[in-house]
Structure 1
Amino acid sequence: MRSMTGYGRIEENIGNYSYTVEIKSLNGKHLNIKTNLPWIYSSLELKVNDILKKYFKRGSLNVYIDIRLIQPKDIIKIDKALAKSYYDALNELAKYLHLSDLPDLELLVKFKEIMRYSIDEKDLEAIWDGLEIVVKKAIEKVIETQKSEGEKINKVIMEYVDNIENITNDIEKYAGDMKKYYSDKLKESLKDLDLEIEYNKERLEYEIALILERGDITEEIDRLKMHIKKFRDVALSNVEAMGQNLDFLAQEMHREFNTIASKSKLKEITALSIDGRLFVNKIKEQVQNIH
């Protein structure tokens, strides 16, 4: 079980480049990736995102990437003709406005078009080879923290599941008292009518059977047991989108408790079904943070 909350940071030198990759993972219903990458390497963003999608199916990922040269390399190209054109234009403007200050280098470098970054395909491939290694190591760190947090969540959820199982067993025990309950209620109703009549025992049994059939919760109890077993199986598996699977099973358990409460007239069963729904709601809160 993995939480959607995790963190990983790796700094490593590979070849002529120094890499820093930091990944923060937070809760999110769907996968949302925000990558902060130096614009000169923006063409690598899709490759980074493709790797992330292999390891994360849900959550909000904030990814920070920094790439720096270790040794100087000729990757900056100067557009000398454009620089001369800017200088001449600024010089002409200064004269026109009768300004004493003439354009200098500090002013010219503010025009970004003059200095251009240029990375050839071979260098870009080398940068990606190193970046891919560091990104995967950062992902491993994130998953490690997610699993650690997931173990804590799993412990809490399993306690809730144990409570739900105990409640289900108690409901099953009280379900056996349903016949006596309805029989007593019918007899009391007949006495309240204050009629001096003899009621047919077989007819009374028939009426009780009809009521019991309408209020039968055997199927709901069986389905609850099935959902509980399935929930445990999924929680112990490596199934993808585990959080979504567990959330679905929690909804199914909630539905069964609702049906039991609507069918049964025993106050003990009604109280137990309310307790069951409370624990299911607690599970639903927890599974929202499961990857």
Structure 2
Amino acid sequence: MRSMTGYGRIEKIINDYNYSVEIKSLNGKYSNLKTSIAGIFSPLEIEVQNLVKKYFKRGNISVYIDIRFLNPQNFVDIDLGLAKSYHSALQQMTSELHMSDDVSLDVLTKFREIIKIKVEEEAMNKIWKGLEEILLETIEKVKVFQIEEGEKLKTVLLGYIDDIEKIVNDIQNAAVDMKDTFKERLENNLKELLNNSELINEGRLELEVALLAERADISEEIERLKSHIKKFRDIVNSEDELMGQNLDFLSQEMHREFNTIASKSKLIELTNLSVEGRGLVNKIREQVQNVH
């Protein structure tokens, strides 16, 4: 089991570049990926997203990338023609406006178009190879984190499902005596209506009890709950790629069965057990939102 909560960060020098990659993952029903990378490396952003999406199918994923040149002078591009044009225009302005200030280098460097960082295609491909390597290492680090968190989550979920199984067994045991309880209640009610007379039609009484028991029968709901519990354990102990979604579906089904039992129940004991069961299922539903 993998949790959707994960973190990994790696900083490494490869060739002439210092790479820093940080990945954070949080729970989310769908896949939501955000990447942050400097504008000059924007051609690599699609490659980054495609790679990360292979390993994270759900959740909110944030990727922060910082790449620094160890030899930046190799990537500086100066547009001297543009610099001369700016210089000439500024000198003309100072002359016509009768300004005494000279056009200094500080003024010219404020125009970003003059001095730019330029990365040729060959260098960009080289940068990507290094970045891909570090991304994969960082992804692996995040996955290890998620697995560690997933084991903790697995223990919690199996604890809840054990408690739910006990409740289902208690419901089943209580339901066994339900017919006798109905008969006793109905018999007492009839005696009160007949002023405690012993003249009660046993055949009629048995028929009424049978009808009540049929309407309140919860044997199918109990069997379905048992089936859901078994399936839940099977999925938790598997390597199901859609584990989170499948566990969420099962928890919804269990919640529905407890609701049905509560609506059919004529016994306060069964109602209370159903409410307790729904409470545990709600706790499971909260936790499985963080299962990858």
TM-score, L = length of structure 1? 0.95
Q: Distance in 2 between matches of 1:248 and 1:97?
A: 76
Cα displacement (A) at 1:6: 1.0
Distance 1:176 1:215 in 2: 12
Instruction: Tell me which residue corresponds to 1:86.
Output: 86
Residue 114 of structure 1 corresponds to 114
Structure 1 residues 117-132: aligned runs within 5 Å: 117-132=117-132
> SS state of the match for residue 67, structure 1?
strand
What amino acid is the match of 2:284? Answer: I
Structure 1 equivalent of residue 58 of structure 2? 58
* C-alpha distance in 2 between matches for 1:72 and 1:267: 77
SS at match of 1:240: coil
Q: Does 1:288 align with 2:289?
A: yes
Partner of 2:246: 245
**Letter of the 1:189 counterpart:** N
Q: Does 1:216 align with 2:245?
A: no
Aligned residues with identical type, % of pairs: 56
Correspondences of 1:155-234 after superposition (within 5 Å):
155-194=155-194, 198-234=199-235
Amino acid at match of 2:175: A
Structure 2 stretches of 5 or more lacking a match? none
Q: Which amino acid is 1:8 matched to?
A: G
Aligned-residue Cα RMSD (Å) equals 1.5
Q: One-letter code of the match for 1:170?
A: D
**1:73, CA displacement in angstroms?**
5.4
Q: 8 Å contact 2:83–2:114 — kept in the other structure? A: yes
Partner Cα separation in structure 2 for residue 29 and residue 102 of structure 1: 61
* Letter matched to residue 216 of structure 1: D
Kept in 2: contact 1:19–1:67 (CA 8 A): yes
1:21 offset after TM fit, Å?
A: 0.6
Aligned residue type for 1:163: D
Structure-2 separation of matches of 1:176 and 1:117? 80
2:156 and 2:210 mapped to 1: Cα distance? 42
Q: Is the CA contact (8 Å cut-off) linking 1:9 and 1:22 kept in structure 2?
A: yes
Q: Structure 1: give runs of 5+ residues left out of the alignment.
A: none
| Corresponding residue number in structure 2 for 1:149 | 149
Determine if contact 2:191/2:198 at 8 Å carries over to the other structure.
no
- Asked if residue 273 in structure 1 is aligned to residue 274 in structure 2, the reply is yes
Deviates more, 1:261-270 or 1:63-72: 63-72
1:241 alignment partner AA: L
Amino acid at match of 2:36: N
CA contact (8 A) 1:164 1:276 kept: yes
Determine the C-alpha separation between the residues in 2 that align with 1:136 and 1:44. 15
1:118 Cα deviation after fit: 2.5
The residue type equivalent to 1:175 in the other structure is A
Give the counterpart letter for 1:149 in structure 2. E
> Which whole-Å CA distance do the structure 2 matches of 1:207 and 1:213 have between them?
10
- Equivalent residue, structure 1, for 2:49: 49
| Per-residue deviation, 1:74 | 2.6
Residue aligned with 1:167, SS: helix
Query: Which amino acid in structure 2 is aligned with residue 75 of structure 1?
Result: F
Q: 1:124 aligns to what SS in structure 2?
A: helix
CA contact (8 A) 2:11 2:19 kept: yes
Equivalence for 1:96: 96
1:210-265 C-alpha deviation (Å, 9 max, x unpaired): 11111110010001011111111111111123222111111111111110011011
Would you say 1:29 and 2:29 are equivalent positions? yes
**Equivalent residue letter for 2:122:** K
Runs of 4+ displaced beyond 4 Å:
none
The whole-number CA distance in structure 1 between the counterparts of 2:98 and 2:73 is 42
Per the alignment, residue 70 of structure 1 pairs with 70
Superposition deviation, residue 120 in structure 1:
2.1
Aligned-residue offset at 1:15:
2.2
- Which secondary structure does the structure 2 equivalent of 1:74 belong to? helix
Are the equivalent residues in 2 in contact too, given 1:58–1:241 (CA < 8 A)?
no
Number of paired residues? 291
In the aligned structure 2, how far is the partner of 1:169 from the partner of 1:197?
Answer: 37
The amino acid across from 1:46 in the alignment is: I
Deviation at 1:7, TM superposition (A): 0.7
Q: In structure 2, what is the Cα distance between the partners aligned to 1:138 and 1:287?
A: 25
CA distance in 2, matches of 1:123, 1:201: 95
